[in-house]
Amino acid sequence: MRNEVVLITGANGEIGHGLIKALAQRNGTQIVALDLRPLDESLIPCCDRFIQGDILDSMLLGRLMAEYDITTIYHLASILSTKAEYNPETAHKINVEGTLNLLRLGVELSTWQGSSVKFIYPSSIAVYGLPDLETKKQEGKIKEWMWCTPITMYGCNKLYCENLGKYYTKYYRQLAKDRSKHSIDFRCIRFPGLISAETIPTGGTSDYGPEMLHGAAKGEHYACFVRPDTRIPFMVMPDAIKSLLLIESAPRESITQSVYNVSSFSPSAKDIYDIVRQAYPDADITFDVDAQRQRIVDSWPEDCDDSAALHDWEWKPDYDMQRSFDEYLLPAIKNLYKPIV
């Protein structure tokens, strides 16, 4: 008998770290992890198998299909918004072609196994594109269908892949004669900027939040690349993981849409500065605006309406801003950077 496993792409990334550790604590979940780089040592004991490889390698994905019964795919691998702007076509390849490969794997596995493979996909506030600061202020919390007019390659990629997921779940093969009863069960969460106590993001535009905090904890100078009044939603990693696990385990009949906002707190960059300076009074933080990156975050909403997630799968964050810092970020970060004696 083939082993039933959960496949996680982008295993070494920030969400991968949190998710793998959380899944490993669940009895009976076997994890196959995939990443371009060697797996972080702390994750090795949590995984049943690690494959160093590329999501663009269809031979590799074919081999996975032959070896495992994959019940759920968490497709986390992607190139974030700032990095994608430096090389948009490469980002498109990884973010779109890579996702298409995984969707196809999910579809083929669903047919082969005779049951729908769950496809859990993290999307982003980058799919939104508000035209100016006045509109951003006026709109406040925005719903999933509003302002889906992204201004970055990453945002375009995520929005398109959300639609691909919906296509493969609802419409694929409807016209074809070889219609199979089973396709994927695509479920997507649009994340705000994420802050982890364990890892620092690379190549994102919400990175100023986590970078400011980790920089202060390490005693390094940090030049924040957005204006102090910049406001976008953020969430700490434990809540992000909670939302992924909740949407994955929600009964199919309670899922009324394929894409959901989740939200937690919406600080300005100055609010983050203040709370970091409270914890590290000597923190050396300056504001040195990067016009391109500022333009990107100015196009993202101030906050997201996550009432659909609350209604459909009882989503509620555990951490507001104060609790995030007091009970999760600061204690864990102090421990992470404590001097070795």
Binding of ligand SER by 154 (CB under 6 A): yes
Cβ partners under 8 Å of residue 231, min gap 6: 266, 267, 268, 269, 302
Closest CB to ligand SER among residues 191, 325? 191
Binding of ligand SER by 260 (CB under 6 A): no
How open is the CA angle 10-13-14, to the nearest 5 degrees?
140
Binding of ligand SER by 157 (CB under 6 A): no
One of 205, 243, 258, 299 touching ligand SER (CB under 6 A)? 205
Q: Which two tokens stand for residue 324?
A: 């995030």
State the DSSP code for 106.
H
Q: Is 329 exposed, middle or buried (0-12, 13-18, 19+ CB in 10 A)?
A: buried
One of 106, 150, 204, 215 touching ligand SER (CB under 6 A)? 204
Distance (Å) of CA 233 to CA 46, 132, 188, 310:
31, 17, 18, 17
Q: Is 68 a catalytic residue?
A: no
* Site for ligand SER, residues 16 to 75, rule: CB under 6 A: none
Span of 45-53, 120-128, 216-224, 286-294 interacting with ligand SER by CB under 6 A: 120-128
One of 8, 61, 64, 126 touching ligand SER (CB under 6 A)? 126
One of 124, 169, 183, 266 touching ligand SER (CB under 6 A)? 124
Binding of ligand SER by 301 (CB under 6 A): no
Are 299 and 130 contacting, i.e. CB atoms less than 8 angstroms apart?
A: yes
State the DSSP code for 74.
E
98-113 helix and 153-170 helix, angle to the nearest 10 degrees? 20
14-24 helix and 237-249 helix, angle to the nearest 10 degrees? 60
Our measurement of the distance from residue 297's CA atom to the centroid of its chain's CA atoms, rounded to an integer in Å, reads 17
Closest CB to ligand SER among residues 82, 110? 82
Binding of ligand SER by 191 (CB under 6 A): yes
Closest CB 48 distance from ligand SER, rounded Å: 29
Tally of CA atoms within 13 A in the half-sphere of 264 that contains its CB: 25
Binding of ligand SER by 193 (CB under 6 A): yes
Are 84 and 151 contacting, i.e. CB atoms less than 8 angstroms apart?
A: no
Binding of ligand SER by 325 (CB under 6 A): no
Which listed residue (68, 121, 128, 154) is catalytic? 154
Closest CB to ligand SER among residues 85, 248? 85
Give the residue numbers marked as catalytic.
Answer: 154
Q: Which residues bind ligand SER (CB under 6 A)?
A: 80-81, 124-126, 154, 191, 193, 204-206
